[in-house]
Structure 1
Amino acid sequence: MRNVRIDPSSLTFNVWKDLPVPFYLSIYFFDVLNPSEVLRGLQPHVRELGPYVYREYRHKSNITFNDNDTVSFREYRSFQFQPDMSRGSESDYVYMPNILVLSAAMMVEKRPMALKLLMTLAFSSLRQQAFMNRTVGEVMWGYDDPLISLVNKYLPGMFPFKGKFGLFAEFNNSNSGLFTVFTGVKDFSRVHLVDKWNGLSKVNYWHSDQCNMINGTSGQMWAPFMTPETSVEFYSPEACRSMKLIYQEAGVYEGIPTFRFKAPDTLFANGSVYPPNEGFCPCLQSGIQNVSTCRFNAPLFLSHPHFYNADPSLAEAVLGLHPSQKEHSLFLDVHPVTGIPMNCSVKLQISLYMKAVEGIGQTRKIAPVVLPLVWFEEGPWMGEPLRAFYKQLVLLPKVLHYVQFALLALGGLLLLVPVVYQIRSQERCYLFWSRDKKGSRDKEAMQAYSESLMTTAPKGTVLQEARL
């Protein structure tokens, strides 16, 4: 298994360093069809737009091998829009909640009324509303908003960014932090496990040590020799937490045997349903995770798309949602012998908790609701060159395993050849002598003559010379 260690001499090192797999990020937007009605307290109605597909390029940089059997690196990512794979263009307009306005309103909910009235006046002067109509490209990668400058001036520290704001702006042409993982050269059982992230052994976003722990790998490879009792765990900087997937079933992908690991029902459960998740609270309904503490205190929630596997009341509160296991579940197919993922589908949804805030006129009479913003799917496309590589890595050892038995059988056969030859030679010799006897009389005469040679001659008998 030396080929799956993080070592420049291993077969998988270049794959680990610069993933040759074409990764794609597919984004689905929830277009609000009745924003004016939502402001009057009615139920939101959304329609799904997309997918808007982006090719994701990844490469590791600053790779440094340490003395304690670890390696440190930063993985950089960039995205390129794929029009031919998308259903729509980045110039499409979408009605969405104004995340900055509604987040700022929630942040000052418990502040003095004077501050809230001042904020209402500022919103009005900047023509800021509770909903916005912007292009897909702007929502994705950022747009200029005077509100950011205003908030940073009068409420410094409320927003951790300056300039443009976009849901995925911080991910493009950036890295996911400094990972330090075990190489497995000295201790193979720890290969790919995260030792530290950004120098930390645990994060401080959450309210319990268990929720703050950095467990598992960086999400690319896992330790080999998996069994159905094995779990797949990885740390996600985007989700600000570790996630654990559990074994579901064995299968085959592109001719390669795999184990499928899926998200457990408790992944986004609230503390009342699953007590170990209490550290992620304050919580709302089960099935959505509050990520405000790691997302500039905005009331954002993480879940499966369409609130799949969540409290049914969440999907019922928004018209146009249709949760489906087939379309919205999260899974990972891993080759159990090597720990290398063969196929994956990471699907997550970002939602905004919104409601009317007294003193903030722009929120009007919005009824409390968790409104989906976008959901995204991230996964690889297994091209023919990579399939060939994986088959070389995975199937070749299996072929060699059977070849050694074939060679042992051939060697045993070759050892039997001289033994069989000797036995056949003895049989041939016996048959030769038997064939040279001529009838029963000759046989009897020969036998009598042989006996006479073996019998002692009587005294006085003269032995005569035998003539041929």
Structure 2
Amino acid sequence: MLSTKMKVALWVGGILGLLLLAAGLTALFYAPKLINDQVVQKDVIGYDTLPNGTRVLNDMTKKWLHPPYEMILHIYMYSVHNEAAFLNGTEKIRLSQKGPYAFVEDQEKIYHNFSSGEDRIFYRNRHRYFFSQEHSCRDCFLDDRVTVPNIPFQKLIDFAETGFATRIAIEALLIAEGRETPFVTIKVGEALFEGYEDPLISKLCNNPVLSWICTTAKIPKRIGFFFGQNDTIDGEYEVGTGKNGPSELGKMFSWNGSPSLPQSWWESPAARSINGTDGQLFPPLLKKDVVLPLFASQACRSVKLAYADDSEYQGVNSWRYSTPSSMYDPAQPDNHIFCHENSTVQYFDDHKVQLPGCLPAGMLDLSKCQPGEPRVYLSQAHFYMSPKEVWSAVSGLDAPAPERDLTYVDMEPTSGVVIYAKRVMQVNVGMKKGNLNVLKNTAGNVIVPVFWVNETASVDPETRNQLANELQAAKHYAFIGGVSSLTVGALLFIGVVLVVLLDLALGNRDEEETAPLVAQNGEGGQENEGASVNSQEE
């Protein structure tokens, strides 16, 4: 039998084991919920109220207004090296690559205004780019010269097809100007942010007979792939602050005062709809099976991000999201609505490579949302996710490689905070053969890469420490503590139960062993008692 002290110890051990079990279950199931609730409460664009009643912007809003991320834009330029051979029809376009030409990027909301209920906020985002020799290649300078397709020349090709008289006039202008070429050699800085004035187009626009072409085509005086995008804003955004719930944090409600994109950009209302977030804010408590739509003003449309894999960046566990390959397939109904069926040039006769009225897979058409509607197309770098025929139509390109060419975003899943983003894209120009004499010997229409971009954004150290040392550490310690409490509690409780069961078993065994002895002693006494009586009688 157990002593009184042992029984008390068992009672204490049993209760302690149950308490540890309860604490472990709480740490494993309730603590994460408590942490998630705190994150949701803090993930709001808005104000904090100080003890004296003063309202000030909360820390999240301050960082959102001027993101402290390290943002660098790396640009790799392509230059055409066999212009004459291409025009003679003896060679396909041969390119060489040089770069990166690096720019440090700074973003700042220069205007913001809350709605009356503070559930939405209007803002304008200013982008500034500063050339960085430190992050560029050693011999990369903005004065370097490159030969690229001349976008305004493509407009001349289009107008030459409108009538015989127009064609003859354009041909005469080309001969008089001595610039019978669809290419232009300019500085890298001019091709990107500075822009350039094309002498031929200037001559055309100043010609009293042909100036109508410039007016009709809306050809700007200066041409540049990023011209007008430095130290400028990209429209006015109206997004949710998260006050009405985490699902509305960063949700787009309008852009430039409209809930949809201009009708001239896309033919389908579905294509013009603005879906998802603004790309800078994402709702907390991400789920792997939920696709994240976002509006990309540079792409003139909404795009999608889907969970790809677990990842880790600077000690922060994250989920990696990337654009699904299906988004680049024009045969998909959701993507076909972004085709310009009445104006897209046919570059490949094989319908497996290019559907009529659509660009080849892996490409986004920006022509309708640019001044003058130039044939400018976005793709992933090195035509990643495009048919090999697109990549092999020119020479000098590196082969596509997913580890280099994939666009992705790493997000901390509880808070929805972007800790690292990598956007890789390629800017291409569609060159049409047309009916001008200068192009009569070329092989046909071709899509020519001009440059590709690797843009990265890295989380600031303060935010990284908050995510790694506070949020994820709290969940980690809650998990470790919960498992430890469950383990110790279970072992302690099981130990008490085993001791009690063992004691009961030993007690029963002692009773079983004692019972026969008692019975035998009882029977022997009766016999002895009878023998004593008989002895007395005798």
What band does the TM-score fall into relative to the shorter chain?
0.7 to 0.9
Number of aligned residue pairs: give it.
Answer: 404
Superposition map of 1:196-207 within 5 A: 196-203=254-261, 204=263, 205-207=265-267
Describe the shift of the 1:151–1:403 C-alpha distance in structure 2 as closer, same or farther (beyond 3 A).
Answer: same
Between 1 and 2, higher relative CO (CA 8 Å, sep ≥ 6) is seen in 2
Structure with greater proportional helix content: 2
TM-score (norm 2): 0.71
Describe the shift of the 1:127–1:178 C-alpha distance in structure 2 as closer, same or farther (beyond 3 A).
Answer: farther
Q: Is the 8 A contact 1:151 1:159 kept in 2?
A: no
- Aligned partner (choices 137, 141, 149) of residue 97 of structure 1: 149
User: What percent identity do the matched residue pairs reach?
Assistant: 25
Describe the shift of the 1:126–1:339 C-alpha distance in structure 2 as closer, same or farther (beyond 3 A).
Answer: farther
Structure 1 residue 379: Cα displacement: 1.4
Equivalent residue for 1:226? 286
Structure 1 residue 326: Cα displacement: 1.2
**Distance in 2 separating the partners of 1:226 and 1:407:** 24
**Distance in 1 separating the partners of 2:64 and 2:151:** 37
Describe the shift of the 1:252–1:103 C-alpha distance in structure 2 as closer, same or farther (beyond 3 A).
Answer: same
Structure 1 residue 104: Cα displacement: 3.1
TM-score (norm 1): 0.81
Describe the shift of the 1:124–1:339 C-alpha distance in structure 2 as closer, same or farther (beyond 3 A).
Answer: farther
Equivalent residue for 2:196? 143
**1:77 and 2:135 equivalent?**
no
Equivalent residue for 2:55? none
Structure 1 residue 398: Cα displacement: 4.2
Equivalent residue for 2:366? 291
Structure 1 residue 166: Cα displacement: 1.0
Describe the shift of the 1:327–1:89 C-alpha distance in structure 2 as closer, same or farther (beyond 3 A).
Answer: same
Equivalent residue for 1:376? 453
Q: Residue 326 of structure 2 aligns to a residue in which SS?
A: coil
**Distance in 2 separating the partners of 1:16 and 1:82:** 24
Q: CA RMSD in A?
A: 2.5
Equivalent residue for 1:45? 94
**1:18 and 2:66 equivalent?**
yes
Structure 1 residue 364: Cα displacement: 3.7
Q: Residue 89 of structure 1 aligns to a residue in which SS?
A: coil
**Distance in 2 separating the partners of 1:12 and 1:127:** 59
**Distance in 2 separating the partners of 1:340 and 1:408:** 26
**Distance in 2 separating the partners of 1:52 and 1:407:** 50
Describe the shift of the 1:387–1:160 C-alpha distance in structure 2 as closer, same or farther (beyond 3 A).
Answer: farther
Deviations 1:288-321 (A, max 9, x none): 2222111232122111111111111101111122
Deviations 1:180-238 (A, max 9, x none): 10101123321101110001111121121222111111111200101111222211111
- Aligned partner (choices 222, 233, 236) of residue 175 of structure 1: 233
Deviations 1:231-283 (A, max 9, x none): 2221111110111011101111111111101111122222xx22221222131
Q: Is the 8 A contact 1:71 1:180 kept in 2?
A: yes
Q: Residue 374 of structure 1 aligns to a residue in which SS?
A: strand
Letter in 1 for 2:61: F
**Distance in 1 separating the partners of 2:425 and 2:278:** 17
**1:388 and 2:462 equivalent?**
yes
Structure 1 residue 63: Cα displacement: 0.4
**1:114 and 2:153 equivalent?**
no
Gaps of 5+ in 1: 410-468
Q: Is the 8 A contact 2:411 2:418 kept in 1?
A: yes
Superposition map of 1:256-295 within 5 A: 256-270=316-330, 273-281=331-339, 282-295=357-370
Letter in 2 for 1:7: G
**1:355 and 2:432 equivalent?**
yes
Describe the shift of the 1:357–1:180 C-alpha distance in structure 2 as closer, same or farther (beyond 3 A).
Answer: same
Describe the shift of the 1:40–1:161 C-alpha distance in structure 2 as closer, same or farther (beyond 3 A).
Answer: closer
**Distance in 1 separating the partners of 2:86 and 2:455:** 31
Structure 1 residue 80: Cα displacement: 0.8
Q: Is the 8 A contact 2:274 2:302 kept in 1?
A: yes
Deviations 1:146-168 (A, max 9, x none): 44443483225445464321111
**1:341 and 2:418 equivalent?**
yes
**Distance in 1 separating the partners of 2:108 and 2:218:** 26
Deviations 1:8-43 (A, max 9, x none): 433311110001112111111111121111112231
**Distance in 2 separating the partners of 1:381 and 1:124:** 52
Equivalent residue for 2:346? none
